[in-house]
């Protein structure tokens, strides 16, 4: 996982074809569980660039990402960005390796978006 600590690095995520952003809090036990799921996804075939923001140490960057993506901040939280658009996000116990695998796979053209925590585009 690549650490995001600056606005410039955050901006680069929005230019990627596909990027997964994980927002982590070292003070939250649920974040530790979510981090295990993100790592499990990465270990089992998640061939997608993964980025992490420490929401405690890099609070300003975390807030900037929330504003830039248009997704209200939660911690832990995962956002999938496709060409600058957040197409899916989840927080807390909804972050699982299986769901990351499902969401990181390109959606068929006929699939319609879901609401709140599912595919957004």
Q: Give the CATH number for residue 14.
A: 3.40.30.10
Please report whether residue 76 resides in a domain.
yes
Please report whether residue 28 resides in a domain.
yes
Please report whether residue 114 resides in a domain.
no
Please report whether residue 116 resides in a domain.
no
Q: CA angle, 104 as apex, 100 and 108 as ends, to 5°?
A: 125
pLDDT in tens, the chain (121 residues): 899 999 999 999 999 999 999 999 999 999 999 999 999 999 987 678 899 999 999 999 999 999 999 999 999 999 999 999 999 999 999 999 999 999 998 765 534 344 345 555 4
Residues 46 and 22: beta-carbon distance below 8 Å: no
Please report whether residue 120 resides in a domain.
no
Please report whether residue 119 resides in a domain.
no
Residues of the domain holding 52: 2-104
Please report whether residue 46 resides in a domain.
yes
Residues 75 and 45: beta-carbon distance below 8 Å: no
pLDDT of residue 106: 72
Q: How many angstroms separate the CA atoms of 1 and 67, rounded? A: 22
Number of domains in the chain: 1
Indicate the pTM of the whole model: 0.84
Please report whether residue 61 resides in a domain.
yes
């Amino acid at each position: 996982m690549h650490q995001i600590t600056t606005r410039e690095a955050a901006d680069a995520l929005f230019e990627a074809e596909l990027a997964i952003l994980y927002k982590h809090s070292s003070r939250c036990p649920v974040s530790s569980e979510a981090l295990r799921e993100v790592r499990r996804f990465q270990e089992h075939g998640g061939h997608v660039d993964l980025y992490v923001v420490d929401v405690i140490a890099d609070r300003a960057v975390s807030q900037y990402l929330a504003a830039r993506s248009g997704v209200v901040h939660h911690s832990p939280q995962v956002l999938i960005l496709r060409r600058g658009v957040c197409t899916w996000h989840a927080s807390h116990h909804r972050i699982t390796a299986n769901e990351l695998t499902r969401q990181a796979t390109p959606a068929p053209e006929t699939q319609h978006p879901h609401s709140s925590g599912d595919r957004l585009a």
